[in-house]
Amino acid sequence: MNLITPTIMLTIFLSLTMSITRTSMHTAKNNLMLLFILSLIPINHLLNNKELTMSSSPLIIMTTENINISITLDTLSLMFTPIALFITWSITEFSSWYMHTDPHSNKFIKYLLAFLITMLVIITANNMYQLFIGWEGVGIMSFLLIGWWSGRQDANTAALQAIIYNRIGDIGLIMTTLWLMTSTSINIQELLIQHETTNMIPTMGLLAAAMGKSAQFGLHPWLPSAMEGPTPVSALLHSSTMVVAGVFLLIRLHPIIYNNKTIMTISLIVGATTTMFAAAAASTHLDIKKIIALSTTSQLGLMMTMIGLNQPALAFLHMITHSFFKALLFLCSGSFIHNLNNEQDIRKMGGLLKTSPMTASFLTIANLSLIGTPFLSGFYSKDTIIETMTNSHTNSWTLIMTLVATILSAHYSTQIMLTTLTGYPRINHNTHKETKEIINPLTRLTITSILTGTMTKISTLQTTTIITMPKMIKFTALIATILGMVLSKDLSNMTSLLKPQKSNTPNLFFNQMAFFNIPHRTITINLMKMSQQISTELMDLWTLENWGPKGLSNTLKPMIHLSTQQKNMIKNYMTTFTLTTAISLLLVWT
């Protein structure tokens, strides 16, 4: 039985690699469906708490390390592989409709499959080299996919932005890998055994890498900009690949940071700030894809908070449930955008409940799951996260930030539903029918968005400890959600008939993803001016004066000083007079 799991994983990798070489949309979709069904078989091992590792013979033999290809098959990799395959299968089927007019649609699918493979490399990696290969792979693939419509300047800028922000985080991962290579081991299993001896440097590196990849506060502007890519790319990027890789890295290597209180506190603060800040930014936006993108940043902040609270299992649970409803949200918005002649502004949508009833229903379910409606999948992870935070010994600031973010996420989700689905149409619609290419993937994702939480709950065998808490504490998350929805509805009723107002300062501040202008405008301009000033002063004033023509002229003695002794110095005159007199007398006497 032990051989079955590794064989299935190898089959998945080989099939995906072969699919890239020669494939069409239809065959890729069928392949992914078969591989997803195949990847469900090893989950049986999880019920027995088995963990398998598969390694090749050493490829590079060094004095301290033997580098080989090593795959680990544990709870994290075996659970997340089917999810990644399932979501990619749905997105590929959706792409066959969304990208059918694109002349390079087959190339697009190959890129999506390569993206999936690099993510699977990260998930199953058992050493830091392998993880780094997958890590850089998802970065490169995101660059190619975000900049897919390379004729648009914004798409090129967004792709560059994504890769540059990720490189900032990657410096941390490279630093950690080098540290581990010199001091402990790059093999993850050996590394986790020796975790007591780890230092501040590798843990800081891991946190920086996760912040870059998972778009945490400070390194977040690339994520909303990445919406310039096609919608299927956004769906894959934000659900099961790329952005969750950062949080996945921290979950995988959690024993390293577990004892480091400083890093745990930083992770907690960064996560809470990101959650609140991204939710506030999403509330001010009007582009449907950017609202959903900032919502992803907000959810990633929640996962980061859980890692800071020493609950990696909860962070992983939220990552699983979030993958399904986020992919569904993006595909629904893609369906609307395509039907409305590529219109993304929610103010210009309306009445879509009548023209696209099924997609509208799916969007509603996805939004309800996102805000944590009881018994949908988001509820099981989001509610538990807030409960855990309420019962922990953490400071109340983090809890307040998270609850404010919960209210705001309920607000922007309700805003999307009210603005796009209800009311009257505010733009000329296309007459696209909801064909099976749209409905099939959306239906699948909707079913998983409803059932994942329940299935996870009934499938886990460990008995959880019963926590007693006051009723109000238990209902905190639900109260925050309902409050957000009610306030959003009231705000919508109050402002729908008002004429457009000029944005006030806080609104503008958040709308520009706050700090969007600081790294992209202020810092760059000031840095350029400063470097120009320094170089000018160094080159012109200092270098030229000391070593250039002026400096050279100061080193040369003027010719007059060599040809005459008339320097108005009396001792020179006396010396010359004495010498000439002495020489004259000598000559006369001889």
506 assigned to some structural domain: yes
What is residue 445's predicted lDDT score, i.e. its pLDDT? 95
Q: Are strands 52-55 and 70-73 parallel, antiparallel or unpaired?
A: antiparallel
Same domain, 188 and 209: yes
Residue that is written with structure tokens 């989700």 in the block: 413
* Count of domains forming the chain: 3
Q: And the tokens for 47?
A: 């019920």
553 assigned to some structural domain: no
Same domain, 529 and 397: no
**Cβ contact 119:100 at 8 Å:** no
What is residue 462's predicted lDDT score, i.e. its pLDDT? 56
- The closest alpha carbon to 5, from 37, 47, 49, 51, belongs to 51
Same domain, 221 and 173: yes
Same domain, 434 and 519: no
**Cβ contact 498:200 at 8 Å:** no
**Cβ contact 319:279 at 8 Å:** no
Q: How far apart are CA 129 and CA 52, in angstroms?
A: 19
19 assigned to some structural domain: yes
Same domain, 260 and 308: yes
Q: How far apart are CA 39 and CA 5, in angstroms?
A: 9
Same domain, 477 and 564: no
Same domain, 202 and 148: yes
Side-chain-side CA neighbours of 499 within 13 Å: the count stands at 0
What is residue 434's predicted lDDT score, i.e. its pLDDT? 79
552 assigned to some structural domain: no
Cα 409 to Cα 84, 133, 320, 376, 403, distances in angstroms: 25, 35, 19, 16, 10
Measured from the Cβ of residue 30, the count of other Cβ atoms closer than 10 Å reads: 16
Side-chain-side CA neighbours of 189 within 13 Å: the count stands at 13
64 by Cβ neighbours in 10 Å (0-12 / 13-18 / 19+) ranks as: exposed
What is residue 89's predicted lDDT score, i.e. its pLDDT? 94
Alpha-helix residue ranges (DSSP H) falling in 285-311: 288-308
Cα 526 to Cα 157, 167, 293, distances in angstroms: 20, 22, 30
Strand, coil or helix: 390: helix
Name the domain boundary from 459, 483, 498: 498
What is residue 545's predicted lDDT score, i.e. its pLDDT? 72
Same domain, 219 and 122: yes
User: Which residues, other chains included, contact 521 with Cβ-Cβ below 8 Å and sequence gap of 6+?
Assistant: none
Cα 311-316-322 angle, rounded to 5 deg: 125
Same domain, 17 and 128: yes
Range of the domain at 534: 501-547
Same domain, 35 and 119: yes
Phi first, then psi: give them for residue 95, nearest 5 degrees.
-65, -30
Q: Show the low-confidence residues of the chain (pLDDT under 50).
A: 1
Name the domain boundary from 457, 478, 498: 498
For helices 105-124 and 243-252, angle between their N-to-C axes, nearest 10 degrees: 10
**Cβ contact 45:5 at 8 Å:** yes
**Cβ contact 354:392 at 8 Å:** no
Same domain, 365 and 478: yes
Same domain, 468 and 562: no
Strand, coil or helix: 127: strand
368 assigned to some structural domain: yes
